[in-house]
Amino acid sequence: MRFRLLPMFALTLAALAAGCGDDFASRSEILDYRVLGLEADPPEVGPGDSVRLTAHDLDPAGRPIEYAWTLCLYSVGPLVDFACADPALSFGLGGGATVELDLADYDLRGFAEALGGVPRADGTVATLTDGFDVFVVLESGPSAGPRTRSVKRVRVRDGGEPNRNPTAALRVSAERAAPGATVTLTVEPGPDARETFVDNEGGRATEELVYAWYSTGGALASALTYGDDTEVELELPTARGPVDVVLAVRDGRGGLTVQRRRIEVE
């Protein structure tokens, strides 16, 4: 990689920098229909288990939302828009903000054995013992508006200690406040939110939780809307009305919990 490493890295950094100086609305401002996370409960399952899939979305306009879920047993990945490697491996799961996925219906054990292992990006293959991902795709949006395409990986593994979704509580310093006031948002992770697990090198590691903050009005301190800060300040809008704040907590291994609170600006 000699000739491309440094330029590639520099371009990555330039791209990062380029995104900072524009006038785009921050990703933490929810101005239109948004999916803020797809939760699989549990996030890691055995090949014969069931999973409950939930779309955590928010539409400031409060319009009715349509959902269409699809399962893909093997996707080529993000470079090709998570295209399913073979149409025969794609299955509809129905509609609704929440659906049940029963993996026993798809013979994942036979699927993995037939392939001789599921290919990974680094050229190796994964067996059921190693664990591999199946992909859940959601097309959703207001009935009269554009659709949002969202993807969630569900780790399927035979044996081992399955991951669980983290737990956390979202607290606000005031549920009612004056226009333009500043409200402090705080996350309190649950006592067992940070699990320990066996990492790729075979050692024990502890999950690091990442917090993503959103609001439907006002301004969050932008540098803190994504990361490990447990406290964020929200400057409320000058217009009166409700402001929804949302916190998504991720454990970096597919685990997710989403919390919402409403603040009345009055």
Burial of 235-257, coded b for 16+ CB within 10 Å and e otherwise, reads ebbeeeeebebbbbbbbebbbbb
Nearer to other proteins (CB atom), residue 5 or residue 144: 5
Specify which residues 227 forms β-bridges with: 211
Nearer to other proteins (CB atom), residue 31 or residue 104: 31
Contact 193, 228 (CB under 8 A): no
- Distance in Å, CB of 174 to other proteins, minimum: 26
Per-residue tokens: 203:
């050692």
Contact 256, 53 (CB under 8 A): no
Nearer to other proteins (CB atom), residue 7 or residue 179: 7
Distance CA 153, CA 134 (A): 6
CA distances from 81 to 24, 50, 84, 147 (A): 24, 26, 9, 15
Nearer to other proteins (CB atom), residue 218 or residue 254: 254
- Distance in Å, CB of 210 to other proteins, minimum: 8
- Distance in Å, CB of 191 to other proteins, minimum: 24
Residues that bind other proteins in the complex, under the rule CB under 8 A:
1-6, 8-10, 12-27, 35, 37-38, 74, 76-82, 85-86, 119-123, 148-153, 210, 212, 222-223, 226-227, 248, 250, 254, 256
Nearer to other proteins (CB atom), residue 82 or residue 109: 82
- Distance in Å, CB of 11 to other proteins, minimum: 8
- Distance in Å, CB of 66 to other proteins, minimum: 16
Distance CA 49, CA 142 (A): 32
Distance CA 74, CA 194 (A): 29
Nearer to other proteins (CB atom), residue 20 or residue 144: 20
- Distance in Å, CB of 23 to other proteins, minimum: 7
Nearer to other proteins (CB atom), residue 198 or residue 239: 198
- Distance in Å, CB of 162 to other proteins, minimum: 16
SS3 string, 187-218, reads EEECCCCCCEEECCCCCEEECCCEEEEEECCC
Nearest to 153 by CA among 41, 42, 43, 34: 43
Distance CA 8, CA 3 (A): 9
